[in-house]
A = this chain, B = another copy of it.
Amino acid sequence: MHVHAFIEEMERLAPPEFAEDFDAGKIGLIVEGRPEISRVCCALDATLHVVNQAVVASADMLVVHHTPLWTPVTAITGRIAGLMRALLSADMNLYVMHTNFDRAQQGVNDALAEFLSLKEMSPMSIGCVGSCTLSPDEISRRLGGNCRLWGEVKKIQRLALVAGSGFDPALLIEAKARGADTFLSAEMKHSVARSAPLTCIEATHYALEAPAMQRLSARMGWQYIDDPPLLQIIP
């Protein structure tokens, strides 16, 4: 398949016009390699480990959620030089789908909701609210464990979820207004926790977003390369 055809297919899955303004120039084909695509790998982040695995797998294309070129650069040095050398020497393409995939059908938030068996979904401006039969413990277990719970523990009826870094005060208020009693996301801040109007469960960014990339890989016949950050709780 030519890279142009591949891009068209990706844009059907995750239309660029769904993306937040801050993603302008940071999604789509981010590193241009060879034009013919037959083998595709997929991961959440374009780490050096992931790229090296994709090289071993002879991939022509690597699809990720997070661009390694978030801050615009005028120099290719250090960690970025290592990544770019690995990609360009192998003539591998790198394709990014970020907030456009968060919001896509079967995208990041949909995949997470399905992964947690939510029902009777209603959408939020980002993420969604759904009926939840899991306890906090079961949610944590499905997400690889080691979640943090902020506020009072209570039985969850309606769970709001925002994959990635979603503990925004306005989103918490929206979730509560839509009937949620608990809010699941990543990267809690002290000032947000202090005034949160509902109980919050904090998982890792990786645990919330990886399911979508795994499911996408399974659906498309790609190879998913798992690379979670090393993390443990010290009680």
Tell whether, in the assembled complex, residue B91 and residue A29 are in contact, meaning their CB atoms are under 8 Å apart. Answer: no
Chain B residues, Cβ within 8 Å of A77: 29-32
Chain B residues, Cβ within 8 Å of A186: 190
Chain B residues, Cβ within 8 Å of A189: 165, 187, 205
Chain B residues, Cβ within 8 Å of A165: 189-190
Binary per-residue interface labels of chain A (165-190) against chain B in the complex, 1 for a CB within 8 Å, 0 otherwise: 10000000000000000000011111
- When all copies of this chain in the complex are counted, the total is 6
Chain B residues, Cβ within 8 Å of A72: 72-74
A155 sits at the interface (CB 8 A): no
Chain B residues, Cβ within 8 Å of A204: 190
Chain B residues, Cβ within 8 Å of A26: 74-75
How many residues of A are counted as interface, with CB atoms below 8 angstroms from the partner's CB atoms?
A: 62
A149 sits at the interface (CB 8 A): yes
Interface segment among A13-21, A111-119, A191-199, A216-224: the answer is A191-199
Partner of A32, one of B45, B76, B136: B76
Tell whether, in the assembled complex, residue A69 and residue B78 are in contact, meaning their CB atoms are under 8 Å apart. Answer: no
Tell whether, in the assembled complex, residue A231 and residue B75 are in contact, meaning their CB atoms are under 8 Å apart. Answer: no
Within 8 A of B (CB), among A32-48: 32-33, 45, 47
The contact sample of 19 A-B pairs, CB cut-off 8 A, is A25-B75, A26-B75, A30-B76, A31-B76, A31-B77, A47-B194, A69-B73, A70-B191, A73-B73, A73-B74, A88-B89, A139-B234, A145-B235, A148-B148, A148-B232, A150-B231, A153-B232, A187-B187, A187-B188
